[in-house]
Chain A
Amino acid sequence: MLKIDNLHVRVAGKDILKGLTLDVKAGEVHAIMGPNGAGKSTLGYVLAGREGYEVTQGSVTFNGQDLLAQEPEARAATGVFLAFQYPVEIPGVNNTYFLRAAYNAQRKHRGEPELDSMAFLKLVREKLKVLHLKDELLNRAVNEGFSGGEKKRNEIFQMAVLEPALAILDETDSGLDIDALKLVAEGVNRLRSPERAFLVITHYQRLLDYIVPDVVHVLADGRIVQSGDKDLALKLEEEGYAWIKARKREEQAAFAS
């Protein structure tokens, strides 16, 4: 589904991703772990199409199509969703209005009929119920005055409504207490399906107790330096990222000799 090949990305003149390669198949959950500054958030932003992220080398295809050539809204319509680490507050824009505009813009882009407000309201109410969210969420301005936990849950709610093929969760666990974390994880687990893939970016292993990944990758210094099953996350938790750095030094030493 998602193929990233030798991706190099520069931000503000600085090389952040330096040859990242990743292959995610439909139905899989991949976790990307790594120390601060490794390029985790850059990966999320570059996949979603944020400006200021310059791809200097490599390619990204999504279901066989060149993802990097598309505008952010086109990527969303083909099924890419980024749950933001810091969801943006948009005063004056009603959450329901925003979601319906997004939902219908995606459908229109795909040549599907748009939903009227009644049908859409029915859909969002169902999703709210499944995620144990309150109705009042619908009438508030997008993320305005939301607590950290509310913002993250609003991201998961948007994901549930938009039903993307690939969901990228950028540190969705940061700033959440254990109850909020469980709710967010439950929301994600409900959406797991053979047609859908997840890229779960996280600093801590904790989230992966609740969202169990098929593959765990360690991202360090702009590249994937290690991949494994869920036990790799546990090992990282135990030994810390210093272990990766030490291992890298060993490798370099071996290469030099």
Chain B
Amino acid sequence: MSGLQHALFAAAPERLADLALPGPRDERWRYSSLRALNARTFTTAPTTATPLGDAMQARIASLSPRLVFVDGRHDATLSDLAALGDALTLDASAPSGSPPPHWPFARAAAVAAPTLALHISAACATPIHLLSITTAAAQDAVVQQSLHVELAPGAEASIVHHRLGESDGTAFVNLWRDLALADGAHLHWLETADEGERASVVIGTHAVLAASARFELAEVAAGAALYRHDLDATLAGEQSELIVRGCTMVTKRRHADVNIDARHRAKNTRADIVWRGLADQRGHAIFAGQLIVEEGADGADAGLSNKNLLLSPHAEIDTRPVLEIYADEVKAAHGATVGRLDEGALFYLRSRGIGESEARRILQLAFAREPLLQLPDARIREFALAALAHVLPEEAT
């Protein structure tokens, strides 16, 4: 057993006996090698509460209502959900949902971490901030979190997930979340992060949508030593909708691997995925999007677009758009491109007096924000654009 595997499964090794981490021949992990991680030694996350620094405390206080996790464990004293009244209730003794069998990390988290369930029964007026904080005490540790989010019929919520870590943090963060949307429920989820380039993060997001439910996922992925986000969404009820708007911006040696599977199972369902990727310096951006229209899912509308900019000769971009259609009456479109920054546009900006590095930043930002500008929820859009501005900061003046 590798150090990583041992630490991941430490809580219940006998229940995970059949589990193996993806190897080099696993097609789904082709561009995300675990070799460096397997060579390291990991401990399990600290079980005693770790005091937070002043900056982190201030940051937490600025976000409300909020649900706070520290090193994988729910912290009720740091959380503040008062503004939501009884639209949201928590259940700390809920069973975990079942991760897809080919998600070993999610299966480990589901077993190793206590599951916290969020029951959302009505429309929540303000976005809920979900904070996953990894502290200095979790250096070289495996931090696992298991979350179950359930939206009642017609319920509506916006969740902004902030992953916050030490700038030199080296933890392995393993997050599993299971989302269940009942008839007509709407969930907006924004995934953002402020974590160091030495961290490793694996996220499994599993969503099942009942009739007329709508799930919008937005993400700004800045990558880490290893960053992997799997989304598996099943459009199980008629007229359910999945909307994904995201961008990856990796610099230095950061790596970001986003995998999306959208399964059309019922009639007249819609998936609309737009993702943009930028890789600079020695960054590596990977995107795989799979639209699967199952037999009988007639009237499906499946769209996927992934455009990328390669900004450096040492950067790498891999993209794989896939359509699998087993139904007859289907509207489907998919496309992927990898290009370079438009030299003509760069010269145009410079000829007006804008310095080269600022001109590059403006063009990169414009490219990356395009999908985020299409987000229908104004508050989510604002948080997403702020997260992007954080990844591509303006020049210090």
A residues contacting B by CB (< 8 A) are: 48-51, 71-73, 75-77, 81-82, 84, 87-93, 98-99, 101-103, 105-106, 108-109, 114, 141, 158, 162
Contacts and interface: CB of A to CB of B under 8 A. Distances in A.
Given A76-B352, A101-B358, A108-B397, 6 more contacts: A77-B353, A81-B352, A88-B348, A92-B365, A102-B353, A141-B366
Contacts of B350: 49, 71-73, 76
15 contacts: A48-B347, A49-B350, A50-B351, A73-B355, A76-B351, A76-B352, A84-B348, A92-B369, A92-B370, A93-B362, A101-B358, A102-B352, A102-B353, A141-B366, A162-B353
Interface in B341-389: 342-345, 347-356, 358-359, 362-363, 365-367, 369-370, 373
B161 to A, nearest CB: 25
Nearest to A78: B353
Contacts of B370: 91-92
Contact of A158 (B342, B352, B362): B352
- Tell me if B's interface is mostly helix, strand, loop or mixed: helix
Contacts of A141: 366
By size class, the interface of chain B is 20 to 34
Contact of B366 (A81, A88, A90, A102): A90
Contact of A93 (B353, B355, B366): B366
Nearest to A87: B348
A90 B350 CA distance: 13
A105 B358 contact: yes
Contacts of B354: 73, 101-102, 105
A99 B397 CA distance: 17
B343 to A, nearest CB: 7
Contacts of A103: 353
Closest 9 CB pairs of A and B: A92-B366, A76-B353, A102-B352, A106-B353, A72-B350, A88-B348, A93-B366, A105-B353, A102-B353
Contact of B367 (A51, A82, A89, A92): A92
Nearest to A106: B353
A165 to B, nearest CB: 13
A90 B353 contact: no
Nearest to A92: B366
Nearest to B368: A92
Given A51-B343, A72-B347, A162 B352 contact: yes
Nearest to A102: B352
A99 B348 CA distance: 12
B350 to A, nearest CB: 4
A62 to B, nearest CB: 14
B381 to A, nearest CB: 14
A49 B351 contact: yes
A139 to B, nearest CB: 13
A81 B351 CA distance: 7
Nearest to B344: A88
Interface string B321-352: 00000000000000000000011110111111
Nearest to B348: A88
A197 B211 CA distance: 67
Contacts of A51: 343, 347
Interface string B92-107: 0000000000000000
B352 A90 contact: no
B375 to A, nearest CB: 14
B236 to A, nearest CB: 35
Contacts of B362: 93, 98, 101
B211 to A, nearest CB: 36
Nearest to B347: A50
Contacts of B351: 48-50, 72-73, 75-76, 81-82, 84
A81 B369 CA distance: 29
A98 to B, nearest CB: 7
A162 B351 CA distance: 11
B91 to A, nearest CB: 43
B63 to A, nearest CB: 27
A242 B349 CA distance: 38
Contact of B353 (A50, A73, A88, A114): A73
A225 B352 CA distance: 31
Q: Quick one: which of B347, B351, B355 has the most chain A CB within 10 A? A: B351
A172 to B, nearest CB: 15
B59 to A, nearest CB: 27
A79 to B, nearest CB: 10
A195 B344 CA distance: 30
A98 B354 CA distance: 9
